[in-house]
Amino acid sequence: MKARVHVMLKDGVLDPQGEAVRHALETLGFTGVGGVRQGKVIDLELAETDARKARATVEDMCGKLLANTVIERYDIEIG
């Protein structure tokens, strides 16, 4: 079973990488970009065949390693 985790900084947390991308876009002539938030996508191939169990396992992975839940939020897609 495949799982995809989208990890982003929580609203209100400073995103220096996103700001650097926004500035670079402005430098390249792309105007009108008010803000950029950068995140990460993690694709997992799981041996689990039960979607509910797979989601629970990935939730555990996120809480322990894949996301810093103090400053990041995450969304999980199971498929």
Helices (H), 1-79: 16-27, 51-61
- State residue 35's pLDDT score: 93
- CA dist 69 → 10, 11, 15, 72, 77 (Å): 9, 12, 15, 5, 18
64 vs 8: CA distance, rounded Å: 16
Domain ranges across the chain: 2-78
Q: What is the pLDDT of residues 40-79, one digit of tens each?
A: 999 999 999 999 999 999 999 999 999 999 999 999 999 9
| Yes or no: domain 2-78 corresponds to CATH 3.40.50.720 | no
- State residue 30's pLDDT score: 96
Q: Which amino acid is at 67?
A: A
Indicate the pLDDT class of residue 27, thresholds 50, 70 and 90: very high
Indicate the pLDDT class of residue 33, thresholds 50, 70 and 90: very high
